[in-house]
Amino acid sequence: QFGKIIDVVALKTLRLRGQAWVVFTDSAAATNALRTMQGFPFYEKPIKIQYAKTESDAVAKLKGTYKPDKKKRAEKNAVARDQLISRAKPGQQSAAKAAGGGRGPAGPEAQAPPNRTLFVQGLPEATTDQMLHMLFAQFPGFKEVRMVDARPGIAFVDFDNELQSGVALQGLQGFKITPTHGMAISFAKA
């Protein structure tokens, strides 16, 4: 709602848990988002927003000034490994753990392999297409929301690819549309 977002980075490492970087295409959009959302209650805590101290990799790539950082690359590899392990099927968990991780599948995302369509449930009956569109459109690659008229409380959300749908899944998992309705998001079954 504030402008085009080109990247969202939210890592689950202990040091960076609870933080996210949202990269807008221009600083005016970022400033508008910062001013409007500062102190907004999120999970019953006010959001604290500030400008990033360094330029994002996404912006550097657009400018053509990107230089890979070995430390960042190692951190991204660790996150990718953790995601792979969390998506492993029950029979594959021990092999995935032996490859260097300790977590097995948890929550709805373990039910279906990653794909470009998300299955959203736990929605209040009054939820509209526009409400979900506003929530999911903030993530890159968003395509459309499909409500299921015959079954209130569920919807399908399409993205360009499985990586983009995975970012949205992690970003909105458990998001409360009302104080009593937290969304449960998983990859849709084929």
Establish whether domains 5-87 and 117-187 are of one fold. Answer: yes
Instruction: Examine the pLDDT at 177 and tell me if it is beyond 60.
Output: yes
CATH number assigned to the domain with residue range 117-187, chosen from the 4 options 3.40.640.10, 3.40.630.10, 2.60.40.1890, 3.30.70.330: 3.30.70.330
Residue-wise pLDDT tens digits, 89-136: 444 444 334 333 333 334 443 467 889 999 999 888 888 888 899 889
Residue-wise pLDDT tens digits, 56-77: 887 777 778 877 766 566 666 6
Residue-wise pLDDT tens digits, 3-35: 888 888 887 777 777 888 898 888 888 888 888
Q: Are 136 and 172 in contact (CB under 8 A)?
A: yes
Instruction: Examine the pLDDT at 84 and tell me if it is beyond 60.
Output: no
Give 119's DSSP letter. E
Q: Are 123 and 153 in contact (CB under 8 A)?
A: yes
